[in-house]
A and B are shown apart, each in its own frame.
Chain A
Amino acid sequence: MTEAWQHFAAALLAGDERQAYSLLADDPRPSIRVYKEIITPAMYDIGEKWLRNEITVADEHLATSVCDFALAQYIFPFKRINKQSEDKAMFLCLEEEQHVIGSKMVAALFEEQHWQVRHLGPNLPLAHALSSAEEWRPKVIGLSAAIPYRIPALKEYIAAFEQLPWKPKIMVGGRVVSMHDIRPYCGRQTQVIYDLDQVAGWLNELAEEQADGVR
C-alpha cells in the first residue's frame, strides 16, 4: 500500500503545491500526526533520494519550497486569531542553514496553541536574529541546525540568546541534536528538542498551568 507520505513526497517533487496541500488538509489525522507521519518521512525520503542519485539538489530545494507553502496554508486557519496573543515565539535557522521545515512544524504547534509566531526563515545571521529578538521580545526562541559543522555557530547563537535580559526560553532542535550531544553548550533556560511530541507536551503543560492560574 502506498502511504500518505509517499503521495506527499511525490507531489513535492512534482512541484504540485495544490496536491501537496490537499493531501495535508484532507487527512483525517490530528495535525501533530500529519507533521510526524506525512511531512517528516516525506522530507527524509527526499534526502535519501538525493543520496541514491535519483534527484538533484535543485529538486530538493523545489520540494522544500512546495512543502513550506503547503504547510503554511495548512496552518493558516490558526494564524489569524493569534494576532492578539501575548505569548510570542520566534524561530530561525542558523546562518548557512536551509533546512527550514522542521522548525516550521514546531512553529505550527505553537500557532495551534494560539501563540503569536514569527519564523525568520533559513540562513539567518546572528546579528539579525538578535536585533529581531530585542525588538519583539519573544518568550520562546527556537533555533534549528541540521549540519554538524555548524555546531560551533550553534554554540555562539545559544550563548547570545541566553544573554538576553528578559530570559527567553530557548529551544534547540534539528538534525544535529540527534547526531551530537549539544547539552554541554546549553544553560538552564535552554532545552534540547528531540521530537515534536516533546514540544506538544511542553505546550500542553504550559496551557494547563495557565488555565489553573499557576504562575
Chain B
Amino acid sequence: MASGKFLPLPYFFISSDWKILDYSHAASSIFLIGDDFSSLVDEENRQKVSQYIQPHLSEMQFELNMKTKHDPLAVFEISVRWEADEAHIICVEKTKEIDQLASDLMKLRSRLSETDFELLEKKEELEDAINRIHKLSGPFIPLYEEAGLVPLFGDLQADKLQVIEANILSRIDEEEYEQVFFDFHGVGKITMNGKEKLGQLFEAIQLMGTKTVIVGLSPSQVQGLGSKGTLQADAMASLQQAISIYVKKAEP
C-alpha cells in the first residue's frame, strides 16, 4: 500500500506492541515522536491506549489526551484500524472545538445563574411586599386607654389573617386592652379558611381577657363564622354606635 507520509493529518502506523513503524509529516510537525505510541500520552491516558488499541478491536474510535509540542493535554479523536498485527491510526485534534464549547458553556452558565438568582431575589422581594401589604390590611389603632380598633381591608384569607394576628396579639399583650373593635366595612370576601382563622383569632383574643367587638359584618360574610359555637363577641352595625356605647360604659 502507498505510504501514509503525505496524509494531511497526523497518521501513525504501529505494531501490535505499539511500536511506531511509520508516521506522516503532519504527525511529526505536531508531536515529538518517540519509539512507542504510548510515549505520546501521559500516564493516565496510557490506560486508554492499552485498552483500546488492541488487535482484537479491529476498528475503534475514541478520545485521547495527547502531548503535542505546544500543549501537554490536547484532545484528539483517534481512529484505529488493524490489518493483521499492524494498525493504522489517524489523530484529529478537537482541542479548539472543546475550548470553544467550554467557554460557551461558561458564558451560558454565568448568565443562567445570574438570571436565576435575580428571579429568586425578586421572588423574595415580592413575598416581603405581600407580607407588608397583609400587615397594612389590618392595622392596630389605639383609640383610648382601654380600647383599640382594627379596621380590616380587602378580601380576607388565612395567610393574610395570619400576619394580622401576629401583630394584633402582640399589641394587646403589650398594652392590656379591654376591648378591640374589628371593623369589617372595608372587607370584601372572606374565604372559608379565612373564616376559620378569624374565629381562632377572636378566641385567642378572648383567652387573653380582651373583649372583641365586631362591627359592620355583612350577611354574606357572617355565614360560617363562629360555627363551632365558641365565638363570644358583641356585634354592632356601625363603628359610631359601637364606640359611643363603649365610651359611655367606660366613663365613671
**A contact residues vs B (CB 8 Å cutoff):** 50-51, 53, 56-58, 61-62, 64-65, 68-69, 72-73, 76, 79-80, 98, 121-122, 147-149
Partner of B105, one of A62, A72, A79, A80: A62
Given contacts A53-B52, A57-B94, A58-B98, contact A69 B72 (CB under 8 A): no
CB distance from B154 to the nearest CB of A (A): 30
Across-interface contacts of B109 in A (CB, < 8 A): 65, 68-69
Residue numbers in B under 8 Å from A57 (CB-CB): 63, 75, 94, 98
- Is the C-beta of B117 less than 8 angstroms from some C-beta in chain A? yes
A98/B73 in contact, CB under 8 A = no
Please give 15 more A-B residue pairs, beta carbons under 8 A apart, in addition to A56-B63, A80-B121, A149-B42: A51-B47, A57-B75, A61-B98, A61-B101, A61-B102, A61-B105, A62-B105, A64-B105, A69-B112, A72-B117, A76-B117, A76-B120, A79-B117, A121-B106, A148-B42
Q: How far is the CA of A147 from the CA of B73 in the complex (A)?
A: 9
Output the residue of A56, A57, A72 with the most chain B CB within 10 A.
A57
CA distance A56 to B73 in the complex (A): 15
Nearest CB in chain A to that of B103: its residue: A123
Binary A-proximity of B112-144 (CB < 8 A = 1, otherwise 0): 110011001100100000000000000000000
Contact of A50 among B52, B63, B116, B124 (CB under 8 A): B63
Q: Which of B105, B116, B120 contacts A65 (CB 8 A)?
A: B105
Q: Does A149 contact B98, Cβ atoms closer than 8 Å?
A: no
Give the dominant DSSP class at B's interface.
Answer: helix
Whether the pair A72, B73 counts as a contact (CB closer than 8 A) is no
What is the predominant secondary structure among interface residues of chain A facing chain B? helix
Residue of B44, B62, B116 near A53 (CB, 8 A) is B62
A85 to chain B, nearest CB (A): 18
Q: Give 27 pairs: A residue, B residue, CB < 8 Å, sorted on A.
A: A50-B63, A51-B44, A51-B47, A53-B52, A56-B63, A57-B63, A57-B75, A57-B94, A57-B98, A58-B98, A61-B98, A61-B102, A62-B105, A65-B105, A65-B106, A65-B108, A65-B109, A72-B117, A73-B116, A76-B117, A76-B120, A79-B117, A121-B106, A122-B106, A148-B42, A149-B42, A149-B72
Which 6 A-B pairs rank lowest in CB-CB distance, beginning with the nearest?
A53-B62, A65-B105, A149-B72, A65-B109, A61-B102, A72-B113
Tell me, in angstroms, the Cα distance from A148 to B16 when the chains sit together: 30
Look across to chain B and name the residue whose beta carbon is closest to the beta carbon of A52.
B51
Q: Which of B51-77 contact A (CB under 8 A)?
A: 52, 62-63, 72-73, 75
Specify the chain A residue showing the minimal Cβ separation from B113: A72
Residues from chain A with a CB closer than 8 A to the CB of B120 are 76
Q: Total interface residues on B, using CB and 8 Å?
A: 25
Q: Which residues of B contact A98 (CB under 8 A)?
A: 102
Does chain A have a CB within 8 A of B19? no
- List, in ascending order, chain A residues with CB within 8 A of B112's CB: 69
Rounded to whole Å, the gap between the CB of B65 and the closest CB of chain A is: 8
- Whole-angstrom CA separation of A77 from B161 in the bound complex: 27
Q: Is B48 an interface residue (CB 8 A)?
A: yes
Q: Which residue of B lies closest to A148 (CB)?
A: B42
Q: Which residues of B contact A122 (CB under 8 A)?
A: 106
- B105 partner residues in chain A, CB cutoff 8 A: 61-62, 64-65
Asked whether A51 lies within 8 Å of B98 as measured between CB atoms, the reply is no
Q: Which residue of A lies closest to B94 (CB)?
A: A57
Neighbouring A residues of B75 by C-beta, 8 Å: 57
Which residue on A lies nearest to B116, using beta carbons? A73
CA distance A68 to B124 in the complex (A): 23
Residues of chain A contacted by B94 (CB below 8 angstroms): 57
User: Which residues on the A side are within 8 Å of B42 (C-beta)?
Assistant: 148-149
User: Whole-angstrom distance between the alpha carbons of A147 and B75 in the complex?
Assistant: 14
Cα–Cα distance between A164 and B144 once the two chains are bound (Å): 65
Kindly list chain B residues whose C-beta atoms are within 8 Å of the C-beta of A62.
Answer: 105
* B47 lies within 8 A of A58 (CB): no
Of chain A, the residue at the smallest CB distance from B117 is A76
- Please measure, in the bound complex, the distance between the C-alpha atom of A77 and the C-alpha atom of B169, giving whole angstroms: 30
Contact A69 B113 (CB under 8 A): yes
In the bound assembly, the distance between CA atoms of A73 and B120 in angstroms comes to 10
